[in-house]
Amino acid sequence: MKWWMIIAVAATMFTVAGCSNDSTEESEPTNTEQDTETMEKESEENAAELPFTHPLTGMKSEYEAKNRPVAVMINNHPAARPQTGLVDADVVYEVLAEGEMTRFVAIFHSTLPEEVGPVRSAREYHIELVNGYDAAFVTHGWSPGAEQQLRAGRTDYLSGLQYDGSLFQRSSDRRAPHNSYITFENIKKGIEQEGYEWEAEVTPLTFYTNDDIQVVGNAASEVVINYLNRNEVTYSYDETTGMYRRFNGEMQTVDYRTDEPLEAANLFIVETSHRVVDDAGRREINVTEGGRGLLIQSGIANEVMWKNIDGKILPVDENGNEMPLKPGLTWINIVPSSPGMDESVTYN
């Protein structure tokens, strides 16, 4: 059971080209066509009846989420997979930490899962990504630079170093440092205990409406990202749902507790400069400069640019205008500009 339940309905629209002839009689639709038309009409009507739209997913809902976004630093080490609660995020950044392993900055707003984790430590560029959503940041540890920023009040945060064994709990299923978890009940408790704001107005992202989703570009039913030739991430498009499912190597990304698969509506791959800055292999990653991007939606890929707009990494066209997203989860993979997308990303 989720601590905060969401009921949302989204409809994916398809353009059907009709054929004309000289006859004035129209052919009767088949049962399959009738069923499809009925389902689409009912879906549109149901979505139209829902009074609210979640600002970070574009999904219709019967309730308005008044909480502020919460960003959780989630572990992606093989010993931490599969993760818990990740499938309920609105936006996820996947970015390298040390070595070839990535970590996730998962931003939750429309749905707050009962539990989330494993929670891992933060780096300075993670804080930049969190601040774009004015989110409360949940982390378990930090690099020296990230510690300095957080202690200086760069963003509101909860640290497992301070609350290990109280707000944060260790799972007996896994070994440290891959076993730190926190419930959203404890996140809310910690935010209020620290004197941070829990409620906030959230600036919406830009989404297609149900009748104008564009699907023009290059076929991308399978997308593979190779992080430094050691960590392979694959996305597979499911035509029945219109969503992408994620795999790390051969392991599908599902929820540890429920086996629910992660499904992303938007894949956004961005290229940016990475630089190793210390003997521990920590990196400096530029998340503000802009550059090349690959926006993938509904089985189609388009080469675009990315721009940091008010702290958020977003797709823009050749004129710098923000491009709309498909309603649902947006997953953003940040890859090094060397070797770059041309060598590290393939799709077909």
Query: What whole-number distance in Å separates Cα of residue 137 and Cα of residue 155?
Result: 7
How many residues are listed for the chain in this entry? 348
287 closest CA partner among 141, 93, 69, 151:
93
44 closest CA partner among 60, 63, 65, 64:
60
Taking the C-alpha atoms of 148, 152, 158 and 161 in order, what is their torsion angle to the nearest 10 degrees? 40
What contacts 316, CB < 8 A, 6 or more positions away? 304, 305, 306, 307, 309, 322, 323
pLDDT recorded at residue 43: 52
pLDDT recorded at residue 99: 87
Mean pLDDT for each 10-residue chunk of the chain (348 residues)? 41 37 43 50 61 96 96 97 98 94 97 98 97 97 96 97 97 96 98 97 92 78 93 96 96 97 98 93 94 96 96 95 96 95 95
Domains along the sequence of the chain with CATH: 52-347 (3.50.90.10)
Residue 313 near residue 287, CB atoms below 8 Å: yes
pLDDT recorded at residue 22: 40
Query: What whole-number distance in Å separates Cα of residue 309 and Cα of residue 185?
Result: 31
Query: What whole-number distance in Å separates Cα of residue 21 and Cα of residue 12?
Result: 29
pLDDT recorded at residue 75: 97
Query: What whole-number distance in Å separates Cα of residue 34 and Cα of residue 18?
Result: 15
pLDDT recorded at residue 44: 54
CA 265 to chain CA centroid, Å, is 9
